[in-house]
Chain A
Amino acid sequence: MLVVVCVKQVPDTTQVQIDPVTNTLIREGVPFIVNPYDTHAVEEGLKLKDRFGCKVVALSMGPPNAEATLRKALAQGVDRAILLSDRVFGGADTLATSKVLAAAIERLGREEEVGAVICGKQTIDGDTAQVGPGIATRLHFSQLTLVDKVEGFDPAARKVRVRRKLEGRHEEVESPLPVLLTVVREANRPRYPTVNMRLESAEAKVELWDNAVLGLDVQSVGLKGSPTWVSRIFSPQRALGEILGDGVNDPEGAADALIEKMLEKDLLAI
Chain B
Amino acid sequence: MTPPKKPRGKAALIPDRCIACGARCQSVCPVDAVQMNDQGEPIIDPSRCIGCVKCVKVCPAQALEMSFTPEELRILKELAAGAPAAAEAPEEDPEEAALKKRLAAYRGVWVFVEQTEGEAAKVSWELLGKGKELAAARNCPLCAVVMGQEVEELCRQAIGYGAEVVYLMDAPVLRHYRTEAYQRCLCDLVEKYRPEVILMGATGLGRDLAGVVATVLGTGLTADCTGLAIDDKGNLAQTRPAFGGNIMATIMCDKFRPQMSTVRPHVMPMPPFHPEAKGEIVREPVPFAEEEIRVKVLEILMDGGKSDVDIAGAEFIVSGGRGMMAKENFAMLKELADVLGGVVGASRSAVDAGWMPQDRQVGQTGKTVRPKVYIACGISGAIQHLVGMQDSDVVIAINRDPEAPIFQVASYGLVGDLFRIIPALTAKLKALKAARAGA
Residue among A16, A249, A265 having the largest count of chain B Cβ atoms under 10 Å: A16
Tell me whether A248 and B415 are in contact in the complex, defined as CB-CB below 8 angstroms, given that A63-B36, A95-B214, A143-B212 are known contacts.
yes
Residue among A11, A131, A246 having the largest count of chain B Cβ atoms under 10 Å: A11
> In the complex the two chains form, what is the Cα distance from A134 to B230 in whole Å?
27
Which DSSP category, helix, strand, loop or mixed, fits chain B's interface? mixed
In the bound complex, residues from chain A placing their C-beta under 8 Å from that of B372 are 267
Does chain B have a CB within 8 A of A233?
yes
- B299 adjacent to A171 (CB under 8 Å): yes
> In the complex the two chains form, what is the Cα distance from A249 to B421 in whole Å?
11
Kindly report which residue of chain A lies nearest to residue B437, judged by CB atoms. A270
In the bound complex, residues from chain A placing their C-beta under 8 Å from that of B316 are 269
- A242 adjacent to B412 (CB under 8 Å): yes
A241 contacts which of B246, B297, B300, B397 (Cβ < 8 Å)?
B397
A258 contacts which of B116, B121, B215, B412 (Cβ < 8 Å)?
B412
**In the complex, chain A residues 235-254 whose Cβ is within 8 Å of any chain B Cβ:** 235-236, 238-249, 251-252, 254
CB distance from B424 to the nearest CB of A (A): 4
Kindly report which residue of chain A lies nearest to residue B394, judged by CB atoms. A267
B244 contacts which of A63, A127, A228 (Cβ < 8 Å)?
A127
> In the complex the two chains form, what is the Cα distance from A9 to B210 in whole Å?
24
> In the complex the two chains form, what is the Cα distance from A62 to B201 in whole Å?
29
- B413 adjacent to A232 (CB under 8 Å): no
Residue among A18, A24, A235 having the largest count of chain B Cβ atoms under 10 Å: A24
Kindly report which residue of chain B lies nearest to residue A20, judged by CB atoms. B405
Tell me whether A254 and B248 are in contact in the complex, defined as CB-CB below 8 angstroms, given that A91-B22, A174-B295, A227-B256 are known contacts.
no
A16 contacts which of B208, B243, B256 (Cβ < 8 Å)?
B243
> In the complex the two chains form, what is the Cα distance from A217 to B372 in whole Å?
52
A255 contacts which of B58, B204, B409, B428 (Cβ < 8 Å)?
B428
Does chain B have a CB within 8 A of A268?
yes
In the bound complex, residues from chain A placing their C-beta under 8 Å from that of B241 are 127
Residues 236-254 of B, flagged 1 when their CB comes within 8 A of A and 0 if not, give 0100011111111111110
- A259 adjacent to B429 (CB under 8 Å): yes
- B243 adjacent to A11 (CB under 8 Å): yes
Does chain B have a CB within 8 A of A124?
yes
Residues 185-220 of A, flagged 1 when their CB comes within 8 A of B and 0 if not, give 000000000000000000000000000000000000
Does chain A have a CB within 8 A of B40?
yes
Does chain B have a CB within 8 A of A19?
yes
**Number of A-B pairs, beta carbon distance below 8 Å:** 308
Tell me whether A247 and B415 are in contact in the complex, defined as CB-CB below 8 angstroms, given that A143-B208, A238-B409 are known contacts.
yes
Number of chain B residues whose Cβ lies closer than 8 Å to a Cβ of chain A: 109
Does chain B have a CB within 8 A of A146?
yes
B249 contacts which of A227, A233, A249, A262 (Cβ < 8 Å)?
A233
Does chain A have a CB within 8 A of B402?
yes
- B250 adjacent to A255 (CB under 8 Å): no
A130 contacts which of B39, B223, B414 (Cβ < 8 Å)?
B223
- B221 adjacent to A130 (CB under 8 Å): yes
- A133 adjacent to B20 (CB under 8 Å): no
In the bound complex, residues from chain A placing their C-beta under 8 Å from that of B368 are none
Does chain B have a CB within 8 A of A107?
no
Does chain B have a CB within 8 A of A157?
no
In the bound complex, residues from chain A placing their C-beta under 8 Å from that of B38 are 65
Tell me whether A142 and B436 are in contact in the complex, defined as CB-CB below 8 angstroms, given that A19-B16, A245-B414, A270-B339 are known contacts.
no
> In the complex the two chains form, what is the Cα distance from A136 to B407 in whole Å?
44
Residue among A133, A245, A261, A265 having the largest count of chain B Cβ atoms under 10 Å: A133
Tell me whether A127 and B364 are in contact in the complex, defined as CB-CB below 8 angstroms, given that A18-B246, A87-B26, A270-B341 are known contacts.
yes
In the bound complex, residues from chain A placing their C-beta under 8 Å from that of B60 are 229-233
CB distance from A38 to the nearest CB of B (A): 15
In the bound complex, residues from chain B placing their C-beta under 8 Å from that of A65 are 38
Does chain A have a CB within 8 A of B157?
no
Does chain A have a CB within 8 A of B411?
yes
**In the complex, chain A residues 1-57 whose Cβ is within 8 Å of any chain B Cβ:** 11, 13-14, 16-19, 22, 24-27
Does chain A have a CB within 8 A of B272?
no
> In the complex the two chains form, what is the Cα distance from A103 to B197 in whole Å?
29
> In the complex the two chains form, what is the Cα distance from A58 to B415 in whole Å?
51
- A91 adjacent to B24 (CB under 8 Å): yes
Query: What 6 A-B pairs come out closest when comparing CB atoms?
Result: A247-B416, A13-B244, A133-B211, A227-B220, A230-B60, A90-B23
Residues of A that sit less than 8 Å from B by CB: 11, 13-14, 16-19, 22, 24-27, 63, 65, 87-88, 90-95, 98, 124-134, 136-138, 142-146, 161, 164-176, 222-224, 226-236, 238-249, 251-252, 254-259, 261-262, 265, 267-270
5 residue pairs of the A-B complex, CB under 8 angstroms, read A13-B246, A174-B298, A228-B220, A238-B408, A240-B408
Residues of B that sit less than 8 Å from A by CB: 16-24, 26-28, 36, 38-40, 58, 60-61, 116, 121, 176, 178-180, 183, 203-205, 207-208, 210-212, 214-216, 218-224, 237, 241-253, 255-256, 294-304, 315-316, 339-341, 364, 372-373, 383-384, 390, 394-398, 400, 402, 407-417, 420-421, 424-425, 428-429, 432-433, 436
Further 4 A-B residue pairs, CB within 8 A, beyond A90-B27, A241-B409, A258-B425: A63-B23, A145-B208, A167-B203, A176-B294
